[in-house]
Amino acid sequence: MEKKKNSLKIGILIEVTGSAFHCNILNGISRYADRHGLNLLCFAGGRLHSPSSFDNCKNTVYEFINNGNCDGLIIFSQMLGTHATRSQMMEFCKRYSGIPMVSVGMQLDNIPSIMIDNKRGMEESIRHLIDDHGYRRIALLRGPENVPDAEGRWQSYRDVLSACGIPIEKELIIEDQFSLSAGTNAIATLIDERGVKFDAFIANNDDAAIGAINALRLRNISVPEDVAVIGYDDIITSKVVEPPLTTVNQPIYEQGENACRMIHDLLLGRTVEPVQILTSKLVVRESCGCRLKNFTRMPGSSENKAVAAIKSDIREYIQDRLAPSHPFRDKWMLSLLLSILDSLFYAIMKDNSNPFFNLWKEFLSHAIEKNANKQDLTEILLVIRSRILPFINDKRRILNAEDIFLQARAMMGELYFGTELSSKIVLSYKEEQLQNISEALHIALNLKEQMDIIYLSFPSIDIPACFLSLFDNPEKPGQNSRMILAFDEKGRIDPANYGKSFPTPDLVPQRSLLSRTGKFTYVVQCLFYGEDRMGYILFKIDNWTGNINDMLVNRLSSSLKGSTLLKKIRDLVLNLEITANERTKDLAKTNAQLKLEVGKLQEILSGDAVLPVEDESMDFRIQKAINFMNRHFNKELTLQDVANKVFMGVTYFSKVFKQVVGKGFIEYLINMRIEKALELLKDPNLKISDVAHMVGYQDPNYFYKAVKKHSGLTPTEYRKKLGINDLI
């Protein structure tokens, strides 16, 4: 039987959901799905073929997908394929053959794909730095190889520099991931390691650009006075950082919306384009060095011509940049905005600003009522400013115009203050609630208590529905699971559904449970601790705000692991007591030994146990812990992680470790990493930043300090002593 269009379920395969970039694109998908009554299941996993075991555990959710739970798929191929080749992505998609698919960010054979032309935006940004600012030494943080977006931008960089007769200098090129830390690390490499001078820095995304700005400030280098910085993506944060970030706008909201439209059309039997390409554009703000002095004046233009041209530009901007459902595309709001332009020009040219401020206040009031974003309003005002100033020739009027724009922004800030204050209070409340929930989960003595806490507290952080299941066999997570908690807006679901084994791809024992309250959007994430897969959770989403959900899943996984370990220890204590009681009086010696073991395990529960060094079982456990640290020294390791690995309480493990090894856990781990780093630094083919990452240091600055503290020399000085020159 053909499914009704409003019962269609669209699966989304994406790497993460927490960043501003991901939230923007997911909001685009959700907006289209809401308008057309589509259900969404977002399988939030990791990157394919990643060297990280963390990613590999997250990827477990991709094993759950089949044509029973999803009618169509939106696959964020580029995000998932950061470490994969195009052919590997094709092979991955084959597991879902029979389900209509759309690929986002990577063009795949026989799968409709939606792409963004990144070359144009990158070309515009480099041309702007060269032609408008005269910069020639332009450093580039390029993305990873095999990522189409990164390769396209890298090609544009080479093409533009070559066309301008500027040689490409390898020492100005850094390759890294799309992250905040990538920008920080790039600046450390360019300045601290290589000692190179550069006029401008182009990052592979806005987060990295913001990280670079912060890193430059720490070195007393001003942006844009000393170094210009340009980002990529045009996320919300780029508009509000200081200085406002010049960046390349990717229509990511539209990309999400169009991807959902495309998969919907496929499911309805409509023809879709094999490849749809959206355009990126340069957005000039201030981090590149553009100030008032950079605007080119156009003397002799008539006022009417100026107003008409500006109105045309504003219409085009709103049409190209804002989603069809945006409040500013409402005919009445657009008409009011265009009327404001007449009053603004009148205010500047005739020195009478009252009509403008009256209209501007009215426009702001309606914008707030319609939940218009403050950043969008700020952007509109900046666009108007950039279009009006070139038509003004008189210096006094230029100053008058700037004063009016400052007052307009101040008025906007005042009117939005109440709204923002309310939002901050809500966010602060959510963060406080999350902390309280985490603490309550860790204190809970058993799984039942933890499930009660989740049921009672999740709605307070805007999670109205949740389904939590554990794998029957963690080694084969895609086979069967058992649900241990389920609730939605109607309340807790009948416990008769709990504890029964069901196929994991069904997600819940009865699929009708997901739609008890109508159309839905659920995120599906794997619960794991270290390399141990435990189960998965579905939680309902009303809007994509990001980090709080990811944080919650991480803390929930840790709490579940803790309660599982506690149960194992208690069961072992109980078994030993039973065994001891069943022994006959003739086995007094054995009985005494068992009682001793019971006592030790009970001490583990309290965290107060202290055993003599000669206890061979403890020596064995500590050696096992050291072996684990040796294998995983290049990853994030906490005292909790290692203690859990050898089934010991944290306090107890810390005491015994120091007693057996003679050093504290942190001191031993740092020494281990630095000793391995000193060996790796002897290899002339490795860069210092590579060595830092290989031994678990994400921040090169901290790595430098740690090496110097341990050996008395910085990594550079250590290599010079060995007669090795640093790689450029």
Query: What phi and psi values does residue 548 have, to the nearest 5 degrees?
Result: -65, -35
The answer to whether the CB of 416 falls within 8 A of the CB of 385 is no
Q: How far apart are CA 164 and CA 149, in angstroms?
A: 23
The answer to whether the CB of 233 falls within 8 A of the CB of 252 is yes
Among 59, 208, 57, residue whose Cα is nearest residue 140: 208
Predicted confidence band of residue 359 (pLDDT cuts 50, 70, 90): confident
Predicted pLDDT of residue 262? 96
Q: Any idea what DSSP says for residue 4?
A: P
Q: Distances in Å between the alpha carbon of 403 and those of 386, 452, 457?
A: 14, 57, 49
Predicted pLDDT of residue 564? 59
Predicted pLDDT of residue 452? 83
Q: How far apart are CA 59 and CA 13, in angstroms?
A: 10
The answer to whether the CB of 288 falls within 8 A of the CB of 128 is yes
The answer to whether the CB of 130 falls within 8 A of the CB of 124 is no
Omega prior to 477 cis, within 30 of 0: no
Predicted confidence band of residue 422 (pLDDT cuts 50, 70, 90): very low
Among 1-5, 165-169, 313-317, the minimum mean pLDDT is found in: 1-5
Predicted confidence band of residue 299 (pLDDT cuts 50, 70, 90): very low
What's the pLDDT tens digit per position in 264-274? 999 999 999 99
> In this structure, what token pair is assigned to residue 672?
């281990």
Among 70-79, 183-192, 560-569, 582-591, the minimum mean pLDDT is found in: 582-591
Q: How far apart are CA 372 and CA 236, in angstroms?
A: 13
What's the pLDDT tens digit per position in 449-458? 788 888 888 8
Please report, as a single letter, which amino acid is at residue 203. Answer: A
Assess whether pLDDT exceeds 70 at residue 308. yes
What's the pLDDT tens digit per position in 177-194? 766 688 899 999 999 999
What's the pLDDT tens digit per position in 672-697? 888 888 888 888 888 888 888 888 88
The residue ranking higher by pLDDT, 571 or 467, is: 467
Cβ-count burial 258-294 (b if 16+ within 10 Å, e if not): bbbbbbbbbbeeeebeeebeeebbbbbbbbbbbeeee
- Taking 3-state DSSP, the helix, strand and coil percentages for the chain, each rounded to the nearest 5, stand at 55, 15, 30
What's the pLDDT tens digit per position in 149-180? 778 888 899 999 999 999 999 999 998 776 66
Counting Cα atoms < 13 Å in the Cβ hemisphere of 485 gives 21
Predicted confidence band of residue 92 (pLDDT cuts 50, 70, 90): very high
Predicted pLDDT of residue 427? 47
The residue ranking higher by pLDDT, 636 or 233, is: 233
- The single residue listed with the structure tokens 């406080």 is 432
Question: How much of the chain exceeds pLDDT 90, in percent?
Answer: 25
Predicted confidence band of residue 196 (pLDDT cuts 50, 70, 90): very high
Assess whether pLDDT exceeds 50 at residue 726. yes
Assess whether pLDDT exceeds 90 at residue 62. yes
Assess whether pLDDT exceeds 70 at residue 358. yes
Assess whether pLDDT exceeds 70 at residue 418. no
Predicted confidence band of residue 402 (pLDDT cuts 50, 70, 90): confident
Please state at what angle helix 118-127 crosses helix 148-163, rounded to 10 degrees.
40
Per-residue pLDDT, averaged over 539-554, amounts to 71
Q: How far is CA 448 from the centre of its chain?
A: 32
Per-residue pLDDT, averaged over 25-29, amounts to 87
Q: How far apart are CA 464 and CA 323, in angstroms?
A: 28
Q: What is the mean pLDDT of the chain?
A: 79
Predicted pLDDT of residue 563? 60
What's the pLDDT tens digit per position in 224-239? 999 999 999 887 777 7
The residue ranking higher by pLDDT, 564 or 310, is: 310
Predicted pLDDT of residue 548? 60
Q: How far apart are CA 85 and CA 90, in angstroms?
A: 9
Predicted pLDDT of residue 209? 93
The answer to whether the CB of 350 falls within 8 A of the CB of 394 is no
Q: Distances in Å between the alpha carbon of 328 and those of 292, 405, 712?
A: 27, 19, 61
Assess whether pLDDT exceeds 50 at residue 584. no
Per-residue pLDDT, averaged over 586-615, amounts to 48
Predicted confidence band of residue 392 (pLDDT cuts 50, 70, 90): confident
Per-residue pLDDT, averaged over 290-312, amounts to 54
The residue ranking higher by pLDDT, 28 or 593, is: 28
Q: How far apart are CA 80 and CA 91, in angstroms?
A: 13
Per-residue pLDDT, averaged over 20-33, amounts to 84
Question: How much of the chain exceeds pLDDT 70, in percent?
Answer: 81
Assess whether pLDDT exceeds 60 at residue 197. yes
- The single residue listed with the structure tokens 């041309």 is 127
- The single residue listed with the structure tokens 């999670």 is 463
- Cα dihedral 32, 37, 41, 42, rounded to 10, equals 20
Predicted pLDDT of residue 138? 95
Per-residue pLDDT, averaged over 601-605, amounts to 49
Most confidently modeled range among 229-233, 495-499, 652-656, 666-670? 229-233
DSSP letters spanning 147-209: -HHHHHHHHHHHHHHHHTTPPP-GGGEEE--SSHHHHHHHHIIIIIIS----SEEE-SSHHHH
Assess whether pLDDT exceeds 60 at residue 593. no
Among 407-416, 463-472, 535-544, 581-590, the minimum mean pLDDT is found in: 581-590
Assess whether pLDDT exceeds 70 at residue 277. yes
